Amino acid sequence: MLGNTLVGRYQIISHLGGGGFGETFVACDTQLPGSPQCVVKKLKPQANDPVTLETARRLFDTEAQVLYKLGTHDCIPQLLAYFEENAEFYLVQEFIEGHNLSQELTPGKILTQTEVISLLMEILEILKFVHQQNVIHRDVNPYNLLRRKSDRKLVLIDFGAVKQISSQVITPQGHTKSTVAIGTPGYLPGEQAQGNPKYSSDIYAVGIVALQALTGLPPEQLEKDADTNEIIWQSHTKVSPEFAQVLNKMVCYDFRQRYNSATEALQALKDLTQPAAKTVALIPALPFKNLPNPQLKKEILHKILAATFILGVSGAIGIFIIDGIHTNNATELYKQGNTLYDLQRYQDALAVYDKAVDIRPLYPQGWYGKGKTLAELKQYKEALTAYDKAIQILPDYVEAWSARGLALANLQRYQEAIASFDKALQLEGNSPEIWNAKGEALSSLKQYDNAIKAYDKSIEIQKNYEIAWENKGLALHNLKRYDDAITAYDKALELKPDDASFHYNRGNSLVNVGRYEDALKDYDRAVQYKSDYYQAWLSRSNILMSLRRYPEAVESFDQVIKSNPGNFQAWYSRGWALHQSQRYQQAIDSYNKAISLRRNDYQVWYNLGNSQFNLQKYEDAIASYNRAVRYKPDYYESWYSKGNALVNLKRYQDAIAAYAQAIKYKPDYQQAIEASKQAQNQLQAEKSKPLVIPIITIPNPLAPKQ
């Protein structure tokens, strides 16, 4: 092939690679100025009989049209041409200069959670477009993701559907059949291997890429659970429980349990990185955490009312919003964009702001409007670009500097966010909102003392700024200054008594100073003001367990599950409360639900075993204890409990071995030492029992009958 010119135009200059589906070459287009490089893919059908060729030809034409449509995306190579020559099919695509992702994900190299989330979001953004075109890629893996040299963006290549052309044969019954599964081993989910790919098959492959990046292990080295086929990976890396839950859902063995599309998976990741309600979760055995804080609140009600009045007309015409923008005046467009923004019609607002800056590129307000709209759409990188453009035109644009800081904070680039807020404060030092936003960024960096100073400055300017009081309380709580935190929450509640999060956070601080009954009252008020506030229900449940009010705790956990059915902690703790209420079978059911959500948690397996033990289901209990020590081999309590179950089955030798493991990991474990001695005594007693031979009386036939 080297040196050949296809269809009198594409001269082959080098060989890129090949396999069972065909070969790939670099060529130059001799009919364009400068003879630019392109990629030529040669696809050869499995057979050359007329029926197979005609089927391949139809499939080739269809898939080429799909590739042409996909190539309109910036991160998918453009299809330049396609043709057939000598019963072989050729695709000509844009040449992407760069390297594939496998060069970045080398064995042993481990990326951070933040880096992997960024990587996932970039891949899923491309796949989102692909899935929206009703296309399944089928072969997402590091070799099919190129890092483009010009802008460092990832480019998705080598769509698997085209490979069908090289793998289809015609059966004697006239049906088409693929001779080999399309995809790469390790990244290929079960349903796709069986020839039934789904959109979620691509999600599985992306998830495997993420696990590879987090653990430094290639897919074939990732252990799988023998019973469920789920991947056991968390022992090789450390990530947040929330991110682990997203990844486990991406790589779930059952495709029905995965995210259905790239859009869903992408949203789950965005939810991880977006500010949530400013609450501190109260969960057993877990530390308090300061969750990210929301953007500055906007009072838009009066604007909506004004816009409705302006745009509304009476009688038959009704109320409507002008969708057709017919003016070329940038200022008017900006005002119309503001109206749409205030009505939360963000896509419409964005289109109007875009038109405004197209007409007047040096219009800073237009760029600012575009930025704040993109931020509402959670497109923070794009928003940042718009704010930078506004600031470039108008360097002292306070609102743009402040909004830029918020966008950076949402991208978790907190130091840069603080620098932006500082610039805004140089221009307008008396803004309580900007001081508060700076405090939130400092809190995200765990610089709580500096954050408190920023909140104090905000409160000094505006004493009734309840959000700053709450944020100050959160920072004080994280410094374990619980009494001071309670005082701050008291002030926030004076200003806004019916705020559910204020009550919730004060309840958390009250717990830490041992005021459980007062904390319970705050949690009750929190769920009174916000009935689906599952974090408050969860904390309420935990307090009730601490007070040994187990039946009430179970009811409270039911409220958590009602609002958040996938909450592992609720199902797990509910099981524990049921166990304490001696409702062992219901506890087992609750633990099993928790296990379905987080299979690798050793504690839930251990507690499941305890409930089974109490129902004298010793074999089941032993199986559960085995799973617990599988996930945490040094969990001595599970070894000890396993020994107790074995004793009840009179398997003394096995029990002694289990007790030995418990003592190995906790040499001063007196209960295990005593239990082992007793088991040895019982084993010895079993061995020393005399063999009793039954005496069978044989009747004497000569004896006189009675």
d(CA 385, CA 378): 13
d(CA 527, CA 291): 19
b (16+ CB within 10 A) / e for 104-122: ebeeeebbebeebbbbbbe
Measured in whole angstroms, how far is the alpha carbon of residue 77 from the centre of its chain?
A: 28
Indicate if the alpha-carbon torsion angle 222, 226, 231, 234 is positive or negative: negative
Is 42 annotated to bind a ligand? Reply is yes
Contact between residue 359 and residue 330 where contact means Cβ atoms under 8 Å apart: yes
User: What are the CA-CA distances from residue 639 to residues 31, 426, 627 (Å)?
Assistant: 75, 62, 11
Helices (H), 196-293: 199-215, 241-250, 262-273
The DSSP 8-state label assigned to residue 144 in this structure reads G
Question: Could you say which of 29, 139, 342, 348 is catalytic?
Answer: 139
Three-class DSSP category at 647: helix
Angle at 587 between CA 583 and CA 588, to 5 degrees: 125
Strands 145-148 and 98-100: antiparallel
The DSSP line for 500-515 is HHHHHHHHHHHHHTT-
d(CA 564, CA 602): 23
Is 139 catalytic? The answer is: yes
User: What are the CA-CA distances from residue 389 to residues 330, 362, 365, 562, 648 (Å)?
Assistant: 16, 9, 10, 46, 74
Q: How large is the greatest C-alpha to C-alpha distance in the chain, in angstroms?
A: 132
Contact between residue 183 and residue 198 where contact means Cβ atoms under 8 Å apart: no
Tokens of 114: 């933040």
Query: Which H or E element spans position 148?
Result: strand 145-148
Q: For the range 259-262, what are the long-range contacts, defined as Cβ-Cβ under 8 Å and sequence gap of 24 or more?
A: 259/200, 259/203, 260/199, 260/200, 261/128, 261/131, 261/199, 261/200, 261/203, 262/124, 262/125, 262/127, 262/128, 262/130, 262/131, 262/199, 262/202, 262/203, 262/206
d(CA 27, CA 4): 9
Three-class DSSP category at 572: helix
Using only C-alpha atoms, the chain has a radius of gyration, in whole angstroms, of 33
Provide the phi-psi class of 287: left if phi over 0, else alpha when psi is between -120 and 50, else beta: beta
Catalytic residues: 139
Q: Which residues are annotated as a binding site?
A: 42
Q: Which residues are annotated as a binding site for ATP?
A: 42
